[in-house]
Structure 1
Amino acid sequence: MASSLFIFFLSLFHPLSVLSATVLEDLATLTPPPDFTTTITTNCLRNPLLRYCNSTSSSSSSPMNIAEIFRYTIVASHLCNESKNPNCVDDSFPKIRIHSRPKTAALYLSFDFFWKYCPLTVLEIELVNNSLKSEFPTNVLSCAQVRTLDLSHNQLSGSVPVQILSGLTNLTHLNLSYNRFSISDSEFLKRFNASSFLHSGLLPDAKRHKTKVLVLLIVFLIVVVLLCCCLGWLCLKRPDYLPRTCRRRSHKFTSAMLDAATDEFSDQRLVSKRDGVDIYRGTLRDGREAKIEVYTEKVSKAKRREFEEECEAVLKLRHKNLVRVLGWCNSRNLRALVTEWTNGENVETWLSSSSASSWRRRLRVVMGVVEGVSYLSEQWPEITFDLDTSSVLLSGDGPEPLISQFKIGDGNSSSTNIFTFGLFLLEMITSLKPDEVQEDSAMRYLEYIRVHCPGNVERVVDEKMKIEERTLEKVKEAITLGLMCTDGTPLKQQSFTQIYDMVVSLYESSSRHH
């Protein structure tokens, strides 16, 4: 009976099959045949699983809508043919497939009564490339038994009905690609392959994602290059910004480091200028105050190598009467030695104060200088020093002298060092020093002392010293020692060991007379 009814409908509309959409639009004017109720009742007896059978059962709370079921039957037969199903008898077609037919797809979607009674045999629904512009067509989800739902390549928008879709337990393939959806529960997407949601609005846009990745990669590379450049600059120019454990040679200063420490060698930082040496007071990055001796003479590459070797040696100096060496700079345009800064006054300033009136105190300073000089002569004979009352600093209550200037790279001999000490000793007694401007000032200064010594020694001794008659002979001995050290004949010069013994003897005798 159902077969004959189905064939009847087909024969009824066969002449208009090529205009099926028009035929379907005329459903409102069609009425069921007289025996249609009997037909559907018979169909439900034979196949009670038919969805419209629920409306005909006695237990149903809703009355049977014969006209709606009639229209559903007609639409089903046409949709079966539209979808090119091989068997369209007894509501048994397996798929609904409408590709690239926008008007037809929209028409069938508008028949809510069809989806309400969707055939149980339909396992695939494909509405692909139909320019649909509505929200998600939830009416198709009435076919709860479907395994495949493909709505790709449309212009659908709005939220995906996750709750309803989750109830379709047989759904194994879902394709929402190329639409403009949104979703409230992204966990649902994990149920399907990511290819099901390409350009759907549910996943990051691939091109945009690639663009972001590319931009981030470029930015990362730029940052890496800049960091490498900064790190290279720090290593080469400002290693003091690096952690101490990362510095290969913490005692090696760069010209940039010394520029920063001295405000680019400003005049305000300049302490003194000597022949070939400019002395600055600098502040290192770690806050330490330092004395920076800049050697202004231009030298060859070989001399610069010698300078660095001598600086390596100076760095190892450890003595209570020597200023601690912090490091050096040996770049192409700057040679400098960096030592710790001592806040105490120098001997030249101290000699002009009232605290230098004691002969014993002056001898104590001389003895400390001799100890430092002896240490250099015995342990580091290759290192020379610049010794006068302005370069020896005083620290502590002793006061304890500190030799603060070392001569690097000029190769002075031991004889020259002894001569320099002799001048220092005479300056400690007379509080006079040669005029550095005049070339022969040292010789004239020594000649002046020889003229008055020993017969008229009071004329050259600093008048601030309160010398008793019994200590005057010891002062004469000290002047004699200074003159012996300044004698140009090496045979008449004393060694530093002999000089040290003589100074110690003078100091001990002064303590007995004190």
Structure 2
Amino acid sequence: MASLLLPIAAAFLLLRVILSATVIDDLRNLRPPPDFNSTIARNCHHNPSLRYCGNSRPLDEIFKFTIVASHLCNESRNPNCVESFDKIDLRGRPKIAPLYLSFDFFWKFCPLTIRSIDFSNNSLRGEFPTSVLACAQAEAIDFSHNELSGDFPVERLASMVNLTVLNLSYNHFSECKLSESLVFRRFNSSNFVHSGLIPNKQSFAVKAVFLMIGLPVMVILTVGFIAMMCFRRRNLSLETPQLRHHFTTSMLKAATSGFSSENLEEKSDGVDIYRGILRDGTHVRIEIYWSNISTEGMRKFIEECEVLVQLRHKNLVRVFGWCDDQELRAIVTKWTDRESLEMWLIERAPPLKHRLKVLAGVMEGMCYLHKSWPQVGYDLGTSSIILSENLEPLISRFEFDGRNSSAKSKFVYKHKFGVLLLEMITDRGKMGDVEAGKAGFIEHIRTSFTANWQNLLDERIMIASTTMEQARQAIEIGLACIDHSANEQLNMDWIRHILLRIYRASCHVNGSPTHGRFDGDRDKRHKHGP
């Protein structure tokens, strides 16, 4: 660079230092002094061979080139900073190094005296600054210990015939192709350690070992793990059956669309009943209890539910599971769209044979519970018994009250069944002024049966043209069940078979030879005894 420019640049630099302490930060915004253009013109007139003479570049870029050259001369710690200098040393200067790399015009016309360029240890990121390679006369370039990445411009090295040292170690470049990597043979391989450019033989060996040994082992282990999980799922019902029946609050929310009002079927004090759909499409009834219970109470609740999910009978509502989260307690049962026994009697006016069929089904469910699950109690109220398809009654409300298979337990439930039978055959509306309540109803039936039992019948039974004899026999069974002395002599199986016989007789009288599911019990015999 012409010596005439250096005094101008030095004077301007001194002015900028005086005015601001951030000369380097403001370098991009520098503008030439007023007499810069005339100075350039005079220099070129006296010496047309100067590099910037005849150049089409704007004069402000030539000015910046002069300032950058002056700064780099100083930053490179050149003890004799004059018009030319032989090295650019900005190693370990991460705050200013990126600034100088950004001046493409300087690197394109860098002073021919520069032989060494050092930008190591500067935490430089991104791709390699290719503009530096425009200094074709450079003999050594060091960009080691940075964080440069991407492809290195290998093709640019062919024109740098003087370059003997290229240090790119400890960067993150992309690996070169084999044909390109041959270019690096002219340099010391130690200058490319952990650069990513040259394939690591040790790393390649490790990868080869992994592919040959590790990968097959991993495949075998993966297949084994999948097979084990499939086997466990297939046997889940045998190993942990409670997991299949345990519902979480989130599962119940999903089944009921977040406990939406559209799915709320019934609401009472502390209990909400929802209709829901499980993930497999099963329609369920979700009975939610919002009341708080003790830890001991929750333990008993879970124990009872673990029993209920094991009940399997056509006359019992299917219990799918329960929820015992801290937020709520719930029991999940099968949903049925049919009505309760109470509504059926009021709205349908069923004939006697249908009532007898329902009563026989209720007794079948009772026999199953007392034989297989004596610890499970149940409610025989007309509102607690649901009718499913083909008039199959379903006992839907269970309880654990400490009862067992003793004669006392059977007596209680036979008594409840007797009351249910009388409610289904007789007409409570005819009691008139008789004292209300279950005790008054039973006493009225007992005292009126001998004198005028026909008057006790539900008139809608008579409309159905059923013979009076079957109705009388049914009332006799009900009275026997509520009588203490007779109750002790009755066997539940005997009661069921007597009801089946009366049912068949009513079907025969009405000209219906088909007895449905009860035909299989034709040859069974009743017997007396506890």
Give the TM-score category using the shorter length. Answer: 0.5 to 0.7
Residue by residue over 1:381-410, the C-alpha shift from the partner in whole angstroms, topping out at 9 and shown as x without a partner, is 1111112222222222x2222222222456
Task: Tell me the residue number matched to 1:165.
Answer: 157
Task: Tell me the residue number matched to 2:210.
Answer: none
Task: Tell me the residue number matched to 2:394.
Answer: 402
Residue by residue over 1:458-492, the C-alpha shift from the partner in whole angstroms, topping out at 9 and shown as x without a partner, is 22211111378983122122112112222355854
Task: Tell me the residue number matched to 1:325.
Answer: 319
Stretches of structure 1 lacking an aligned partner (at least 5 in a row): 1-20, 26-67, 69-97, 119-123, 142-147, 154-158, 204-244
Q: Which letter does structure 2 place at the counterpart of 1:175?
A: N
Q: Which letter does structure 2 place at the counterpart of 1:473?
A: E
Residue in structure 2 matching 1:150, options 119, 131, 141:
141
Is residue 2:421 matched to residue 1:425? yes
Aligned-residue CA RMSD in angstroms? 5.1
State the secondary structure of the residue aligned to 1:317.
Answer: coil
Residue in structure 1 matching 2:503, options 502, 507, 511:
507
Residue in structure 1 matching 2:381, options 377, 388, 401:
388
Residue 510 of structure 1 deviates from its aligned partner by 1.8
Task: Tell me the residue number matched to 1:370.
Answer: 363
What is the rounded CA distance, in whole Å, between the counterparts of 1:310 and 1:136 in structure 2? 83
What is the rounded CA distance, in whole Å, between the counterparts of 1:297 and 1:138 in structure 2? 84
Q: Which letter does structure 2 place at the counterpart of 1:136?
A: L
Q: Which letter does structure 1 place at the counterpart of 2:481?
A: C
Residue 353 of structure 1 deviates from its aligned partner by 3.5
TM-score calculated relative to the size of structure 2: 0.52
What is the rounded CA distance, in whole Å, between the counterparts of 1:288 and 1:129 in structure 2? 71
Residue 451 of structure 1 deviates from its aligned partner by 2.6
What is the rounded CA distance, in whole Å, between the counterparts of 1:400 and 1:329 in structure 2? 28
Task: Tell me the residue number matched to 1:140.
Answer: 137
Q: Which letter does structure 2 place at the counterpart of 1:322?
A: L
Residue by residue over 1:302-351, the C-alpha shift from the partner in whole angstroms, topping out at 9 and shown as x without a partner, is 34333322221211111112111111233567443221110112222222
CA gap 1:279/1:409 in 2 versus in 1, 3 angstroms: farther
Residue 367 of structure 1 deviates from its aligned partner by 1.3
Task: Tell me the residue number matched to 2:302.
Answer: 308
What is the rounded CA distance, in whole Å, between the counterparts of 1:139 and 1:129 in structure 2? 17
Residue in structure 1 matching 2:247, options 249, 253, 256:
253
Is residue 2:469 matched to residue 1:473? yes
Is residue 2:406 matched to residue 1:415? no
Q: Is the 8 A contact 2:414 2:487 kept in 1?
A: no
What is the rounded CA distance, in whole Å, between the counterparts of 1:193 and 1:423 in structure 2? 105
Residue by residue over 1:201-239, the C-alpha shift from the partner in whole angstroms, topping out at 9 and shown as x without a partner, is x99xxxxxxxxxxxxxxxxxxxxxxxxxxxxxxxxxxxx
What is the rounded CA distance, in whole Å, between the counterparts of 2:240 and 2:162 in structure 1? 64
Q: Which letter does structure 2 place at the counterpart of 1:387?
A: L
Task: Tell me the residue number matched to 2:491.
Answer: 495
Residue by residue over 1:124-156, the C-alpha shift from the partner in whole angstroms, topping out at 9 and shown as x without a partner, is 9534489xx985344416xxxxxx623569xxx
Task: Tell me the residue number matched to 1:486.
Answer: 482
CA gap 1:305/1:411 in 2 versus in 1, 3 angstroms: farther
Query: What aligned pairs does 1:166-181 form with structure 2 within 5 A after superposition?
Result: 166=158, 173-175=165-167
Residue in structure 2 matching 1:444, options 429, 440, 447:
440
Query: What aligned pairs does 1:85-234 form with structure 2 within 5 A after superposition?
Result: 100-101=77-78, 103=81, 106=84, 125-128=115-118, 135-140=132-137, 149-150=140-141, 162-166=154-158, 173-175=165-167, 191=184
| Structure with larger Rg | 1
Query: What aligned pairs does 1:29-108 form with structure 2 within 5 A after superposition?
Result: 100-101=77-78, 103=81, 106=84
Residue 176 of structure 1 deviates from its aligned partner by 6.8
CA gap 1:366/1:470 in 2 versus in 1, 3 angstroms: closer
Q: Which letter does structure 2 place at the counterpart of 1:385?
A: Y
Q: Is the 8 A contact 1:292 1:338 kept in 2?
A: yes
Residue 271 of structure 1 deviates from its aligned partner by 2.5
What is the rounded CA distance, in whole Å, between the counterparts of 1:353 and 1:312 in structure 2? 37
Task: Tell me the residue number matched to 2:276.
Answer: 283
Q: Is the 8 A contact 2:263 2:275 kept in 1?
A: no
Residue 416 of structure 1 deviates from its aligned partner by 2.4
What is the rounded CA distance, in whole Å, between the counterparts of 1:103 and 1:432 in structure 2? 122
Residue 270 of structure 1 deviates from its aligned partner by 4.6
Q: Which letter does structure 2 place at the counterpart of 1:140?
A: Q
Q: Which letter does structure 1 place at the counterpart of 2:397?
A: Q
CA gap 1:249/1:370 in 2 versus in 1, 3 angstroms: same
Q: Which letter does structure 2 place at the counterpart of 1:400?
A: E
CA gap 1:485/1:108 in 2 versus in 1, 3 angstroms: same
Task: Tell me the residue number matched to 1:379.
Answer: 372
What is the rounded CA distance, in whole Å, between the counterparts of 2:508 and 2:448 in structure 1? 27
Q: Is the 8 A contact 1:136 1:161 kept in 2?
A: no
Residue by residue over 1:146-182, the C-alpha shift from the partner in whole angstroms, topping out at 9 and shown as x without a partner, is xx623569xxxxx98743414668966303799xxxx
Q: Is the 8 A contact 1:253 1:329 kept in 2?
A: yes
What is the rounded CA distance, in whole Å, between the counterparts of 1:417 and 1:277 in structure 2? 27
Residue in structure 2 matching 1:459, options 452, 455, 462:
455
What is the rounded CA distance, in whole Å, between the counterparts of 2:190 and 2:459 in structure 1? 104
Count of aligned residue pairs for this structure pair: 345
Q: Is the 8 A contact 1:100 1:129 kept in 2?
A: no
What is the rounded CA distance, in whole Å, between the counterparts of 1:105 and 1:408 in structure 2? 104
Stretches of structure 2 lacking an aligned partner (at least 5 in a row): 7-48, 50-74, 88-105, 121-129, 145-150, 198-238, 511-530
Residue 293 of structure 1 deviates from its aligned partner by 3.4
Q: Which letter does structure 1 place at the counterpart of 2:387?
A: L
Task: Tell me the residue number matched to 1:351.
Answer: 345
CA gap 1:296/1:451 in 2 versus in 1, 3 angstroms: farther
Q: Which letter does structure 1 place at the counterpart of 2:337?
A: N
Task: Tell me the residue number matched to 2:266.
Answer: 271
